[in-house]
Amino acid sequence: MTAADELFEVSLLVNGVPRSATVPARRLLSDFLRHDLELTGTHVGCEHGVCGACTVLVDGRPIRSCLQFAVTVDGASVTTVEGCTRADGELGHVQQAFRDCHGLQCGFCTPGFVTTITAYLEENPAPTEEQAREAIAGNLCRCTGYQNIVASVLRAAELRAGAAGEVTPS
């Protein structure tokens, strides 16, 4: 058996659920999520860190899962597009905004945008249109022309602010 064949147990929290699998050292995080954990919401486009389709959040920070080995995130908390929902399982603010603003066409790029924007709004909850454009500058979309995605960022910020102002009935 060569070093490349050696297997490692990787355990992490994925969308709040403890998950683990035994994988080779060079298993990409994107393949780990899609093939080992069967979370196929994370899409793989370029496999070179360029398109952003594979973006997931690791401890809240967006990373390109096609550039990361699964073993390097052992013990981390990972959020994929499947985890960008509300606590009650309804669409999260960013997902709802994409629906409201027709922010997707084929949808291949969408998981990467949703995770990227989710993390961005944590940092900047009330972006200007220019900031919204900058926020998505690292993600590629071949269909939409980006206008509706920028609108989705602004709409997600509105929805998020509205939810923050909601009074929970006692």
Q: Which residues of this chain interact with ligand FES, rule CB under 6 A?
A: 44-47, 49-54, 64, 66, 104-109, 141-144
Structure tokens at 147: 């206008």
State the minimum distance, in angstroms, from the CB of residue 12 to ligand FES.
19
Toward ligand FES, which CB reaches closer, 15 or 116?
116
According to DSSP, the β-strands at 7-14 and 77-79 are: parallel
Sheet strands side by side (includes 17-24): 17-24, 7-14, 77-79, 55-58, 61-64
Closest CA to 121 of 76, 144, 152: 152
Toward ligand FES, which CB reaches closer, 101 or 109?
109
Counting every residue written for the chain, the total comes to 170
Toward ligand FES, which CB reaches closer, 24 or 49?
49
State the minimum distance, in angstroms, from the CB of residue 144 to ligand FES.
5
Phi (first) and psi of residue 10, to 5 degrees: -115, 125
Cβ-contact 54, 119 below 8 angstroms = no
Toward ligand FES, which CB reaches closer, 40 or 105?
105
State the minimum distance, in angstroms, from the CB of residue 30 to ligand FES.
6
State the minimum distance, in angstroms, from the CB of residue 103 to ligand FES.
8
